[in-house]
Structure 1
Amino acid sequence: MTGSSFRAGVIGTGFIGPVHVEALRRLGIEVLALAGNGAERTAAKARQLRVERVYGSAEEMMNDREIDVVHITSPNHLHHAHARAAMLAGKHVICEKPLAMNTQQSAELVELAAERGLVNAVNFNLRYYPLSQHARSLVQGGEVGDVHIIQGSYQQDWLLLPSDWNWRLDPELGGKMRAVSDIGSHWIDLTSFITGRRVVSVLADVQTFVPVRRRPKRPVETFTGKMQTRAEYVEQPVHTEDYASVLIRYEGRARGVMTVSQVSAGRKNRAFYEIDGARAAIAWNGESPNELWIGHRDKPNEVLFKDPALMSKEARRFSSYPGGHVEGFADTFKGLYGAVYGYLEQGEFSETPDFPTFADGHMSLRVDEAIWTSARESRWVDVSEVGP
């Protein structure tokens, strides 16, 4: 898809907002405006991104009648209010995860989107790595066989040191869970997408290894804390988890285990999964996203390098370049927004979307709350026990 009659506005000037802007422009979608916290700071970022219209608050952007789709990349605690305001203004919404701070809020957004007949999406972009799309085709096509085990991890190191700080560490801004909500939600959504199986129940163990951190007195953008050398700090107790391991029961007989960590030295952004089936196994590592391992019992194992000529029809749709030309993180946003804006252009909203919607965001929060409850009460918790 190139070009669109739908025009976008982006809320958020931190790490991920500019990623949205870049992906939209690669698709030929006009980004009309940027909104942030404060006109001066937002104007500086808008000049850098060459966005003409600047709004010092999200509320101001909602009054712009020329904006059709609002992309929400603000801190977590603002997602619900921003998504609700956008939909009440008649705008379609693409929201970063988590969709809201709790399942009551996310359920409200699902209902409001349905009432207003608005297209809605949650930014589970990991689905749009071409080889994860191909992995889904292998599972859904029966090549892997009945899924037995879903295992893996999502590891980062950007919060390893006591001097590392980000707003996500504050429960009032990021939510009561951090590593699980921030990266574990991606892993669970991705494995559910590939296998077609939802999480049914969980048993979780969590830990905060850095209980006190040095919080800078000035703002620090995501992933840039380790570059801070001279700043004034305050000692800040931390109440969100650095680590979690979760035993998972999926629909059917499938069983799984997920480990997430934001304090694993050397792991910059390693999303890893292995899916073991009755016929074969597949494994993928997000730090080497153009390779898919395929394991066999009765013949040599394979490594499939991303090549549209060798992948399924569904995966080829999200691969823009020929074999030998790598695609990575930024391309996943392009793939997701291509699907969303293509759906918008099609105009038939009664069809099932081929992208993650608010309903998926709501389910993600239900799983998060089940993990939270399990960790606190040291027991298996069914997802059906929590949330509306």
Structure 2
Amino acid sequence: MSNEAAGGGVRAGFIGGGFMTEVHSRAVRAARGVPYGVASSNPASSADAAARLGIARSYASPDELIADPDIDVVHICTPNTTHAGYAFAAIAAGKHVVCEKPLATSAADADRLVAAVAVAGITATVPFVYRFHPMVREARAKVAAGELGTLLTIDGSYLQDWLLLSEDDNWRVDSVLGGPSRAFADIGSHLCDLVEFVTGDRITRLTSTTRTFFSSRATSTDITTEDAVAIVVETRGGAIGTLLVSQVAPGRKNRLAIEIAGTAESIAFDQEQPESLWLGRREGSQLIMRDGACLSPDAARLSVLPPGHPLGYQDAFTAFVQDSYAAVAGETPDGLPRFEDGARAARLTEAVLESAAEGRWVELEENTND
């Protein structure tokens, strides 16, 4: 019997030993789970990760970790092209799964993972964690209540500068490790997820342009993955929008921002200023600050600190893990991003690449998961 089933804290195993594993392990601790073990690319790196992260057990290989009956949930925090393989193995072993995005580097593999989860009857989630900022939930509640009126336009961007210079380099630029898309799959997927989550609407048609400004970097050559992408979208409900994604925007560290305009009001959220929402009106625009006593129930639930005590990215990640583990225990938390949402992002990624390659609009086919 697993520790979770016996009534103890959920025991988490981590595959990977880098930055995202650090973020996941902190969130697991804050969510009252147990960081039980870690496996990296070889026994030595696994032992190093365990020591750095304060995790008692290291495994010789990811396969050994997945096979351990004491682990309840496998957190996959490895290079993109390995995600699907580890997720399939964890599902086959009956483990619950938290898999970093992209869930898979092809929509076909992502859809197969969704099907495998349904057969196995396990909980499988993808950390689209920006959903867990309280003011994102407040924006969603206002849209759902009809306060914006009929949605007209969407303006969104996700801008970073960590790959601004030609000497900046990372495994993600290599399509062998990162997959065919970089900027969109890495951060544009977050932007599209946030747009669709807040609006409750789906992107049904898009056209895109991509740019790779550096074909060579410090140790990488023949780079084909994009540094930036510009997208025009249409939604099922009739709104139109523009989305800009860049990893070469000077001074922008992690600026995920959306503005949605309706016939009555506009609403705007900026992840670098997550404690507030801007409401735009023809007369009397307003800045709303986070205060759980004045928010919608779902936003208030996530507002775990008093007003004036800022909540940030790690807090959002903790809330995501808490809701994932609540789902493991049989609850149905609202807004939890599951493998279906990861598959949705994979389909959007392929549509963006197809449009950019062929210079045309691409229709997003209806999918039962959508």
TM-score bracket relative to the smaller structure: over 0.9
Matched, 1:104 2:86: no
Query: 2:58 aligned to 54, 57, 71, which one?
Result: 54
Q: Which amino acid aligns with 2:157?
A: S
Structure 1: distance between partners of 2:206 and 2:343: 17
2:315 corresponds to: 331
Structure 2: distance between partners of 1:49 and 1:321: 26
Structure 1: distance between partners of 2:53 and 2:237: 47
Structure 2: distance between partners of 1:185 and 1:166: 19
The structural deviation recorded for 1:56 is 3.0
2:150 corresponds to: 146
2:187 corresponds to: 183
2:138 corresponds to: 134
Q: Which amino acid aligns with 2:340?
A: A
The structural deviation recorded for 1:352 is 7.9
Structure 2: distance between partners of 1:39 and 1:156: 34
Structure 1: distance between partners of 2:93 and 2:316: 28
Structure 1: distance between partners of 2:106 and 2:8: 34
Percent identity between the two aligned chains? 41
Say which SS state the counterpart of residue 214 (structure 1) adopts.
coil
Say which SS state the counterpart of residue 217 (structure 2) adopts.
strand
Query: 2:355 aligned to 345, 360, 374, which one?
Result: 374
Query: 1:316 aligned to 283, 288, 300, which one?
Result: 300
Map Cα deviations across residues 194-223 of structure 1 (whole Å, 9 max, x no partner): 0001110110011111122111xxxxxxxx
Map Cα deviations across residues 114-134 of structure 1 (whole Å, 9 max, x no partner): 001111111111111111111
Q: Which amino acid aligns with 1:328?
A: G
Instruction: Count matched residues.
Output: 363
| 1:4–1:341 CA contact under 8 A, matched in 2 | no
2:222 corresponds to: 237
| 1:309–1:323 CA contact under 8 A, matched in 2 | no
| 1:370–1:385 CA contact under 8 A, matched in 2 | no
Q: Which amino acid aligns with 1:373?
A: E
1:30 corresponds to: 34
The structural deviation recorded for 1:5 is 3.8
The structural deviation recorded for 1:354 is 3.4
Structure 1 segment 6-85 matched on structure 2, within 5 A: 6-85=10-89
Structure 2: distance between partners of 1:145 and 1:134: 16
2:244 corresponds to: 259
Structure 1: distance between partners of 2:129 and 2:212: 27
| 1:137–1:312 CA contact under 8 A, matched in 2 | yes
Structure 1: distance between partners of 2:119 and 2:299: 33
Map Cα deviations across residues 54-91 of structure 1 (whole Å, 9 max, x no partner): 01321110111010111111110110000000010000
Structure 1 segment 81-100 matched on structure 2, within 5 A: 81-100=85-104
Q: Which amino acid aligns with 1:97?
A: K
1:273 corresponds to: 258
The structural deviation recorded for 1:49 is 1.5
Structure 1 segment 135-214 matched on structure 2, within 5 A: 135-214=139-218
The structural deviation recorded for 1:236 is 1.4
Map Cα deviations across residues 165-201 of structure 1 (whole Å, 9 max, x no partner): 1111001111111101100000000110000011101
Map Cα deviations across residues 282-328 of structure 1 (whole Å, 9 max, x no partner): 11111111121111113x21111222122111101111101000000
1:222 corresponds to: none
| 2:9–2:32 CA contact under 8 A, matched in 1 | no
Q: 1:142 to 1:353 in 2, by over 3 A?
A: closer
| 1:8–1:30 CA contact under 8 A, matched in 2 | yes
Structure 2 stretches lacking a partner, 5+ long: 1-6
Structure 2: distance between partners of 1:358 and 1:302: 36
Say which SS state the counterpart of residue 16 (structure 1) adopts.
helix
Matched, 1:307 2:291: yes
1:231 corresponds to: none
Large movers: runs of 4+ above 6 Å: none
Structure 1: distance between partners of 2:89 and 2:163: 33
1:357 corresponds to: 338
The structural deviation recorded for 1:237 is 2.3
TM-score by length of 1: 0.90
Structure 1 segment 293-304 matched on structure 2, within 5 A: 293-298=278-283, 300-304=284-288
TM-score by length of 2: 0.95
Q: Which amino acid aligns with 1:267?
A: R
| 1:213–1:237 CA contact under 8 A, matched in 2 | no
